[in-house]
Structure 1
Amino acid sequence: MKKAFHFQPSAFSKKNFHLSPFTFCLNKAFYLLPFAVYLSGCSMNPNMQKPGLTYLQGEWKQDSVPAEKRLVTYSLYDIKFSCDSFVMKISTVSKVNYGADTCMNKGHWDEYIRGTYSQKLDTLHLKGEFCNANLSYKDEKTCFRWGDYEEFFKVKQTKDSLIQFTSTSSVIPINARLVKKTSCIPKPL
């Protein structure tokens, strides 16, 4: 004689179904809640550059530093803003030898930074990383600074082609003039 087979899913079996269907579903959802919260905090990175700030688009150059002849060490900045990204060249001049001449180049050296920027009110936030002159990744075995770069600047536009960047970590302002005006053409990331 054949036995009759009765399909009864274990989740809905009488011994597990002492709760109402609504309460049972809530209990199962409770276990999925942390996973759902975790996923909701994630978002895909945009696949295109953001437009950035129109007034910054272009290449800016600092020609001199106030009282530079009396300073032991000073830096001049070249900054290029393209959409929401920036590339910065810091050219340092020093009368003091801080290290190996292969790095110092007789008191003149350049550092490069690339990253993104944002502005809130009058404060410009630059966030990026030190890189080589060709904008490739710079490792820790090279000269000078490497790794992350983050700086905040108070921005004051004195004319259409002149901007003063005052770093929150330095007393010497960067007075930069517009060398070349550009427009943002977003590129794929």
Structure 2
Amino acid sequence: MADAERPSSPTPEEREKLDKEAKKREEEEQSKLPYKWTQQIGDLDLTAPIPGNIKGRDLDVKITKSSLKAGIKGQEPIIDGTLPHPIHPDESAWTLESTPSGSKELNIHLDKANKMEWWAHVVTSAPKIDTSKITPENSKLSDLDGETRGMVEKMMFDQRQKEMGKPTSDESKKQEMLAKFQAQHPEMDFSNAKMS
């Protein structure tokens, strides 16, 4: 097969343009939702504007392990659907808060069951975001306990290494161990050694 027939992978400039277009489309889709949401690796927060005359008792909010429904009683829900991953409902909560402008805001906090997973959307019926583009803030990484933080940093390092076609931390460790072993045993022939 001639080289000309093979589809070429995009140049860094083309990839950047494609990424920008995808991000713009993603932002447009997300801006049309009746709520805004942000997430950390272990939890997710959602906010929705509510008229100032509404009280907490006027809201209908149901948070279960696998679904979320929230809105003003008697009206179309602001959000209603199946969660993409399970949560801890007992650790999740909602509040209704007044804003400086006189309106109110519904805040929903969801505690993810899996603390190692980015969500592509809050409910499965909503448009997805590209989770591979999420870069957690370093300050948030420092909030994690030592073991979890180490795992997240290793996952991020391995992800970057894979994208650049370089060995992951586990592969690097194996190569280092083999190199040390070779140095300690120069009499052995490692020319046919396979890394698995």
TM-score (norm 1): 0.26
Q: Which has the higher strand share?
A: 1
Return the structure number with greater relative CO, CA threshold 8 A, min gap 6: 1
Structure number with greater Rg is 1
TM-score (norm 2): 0.25
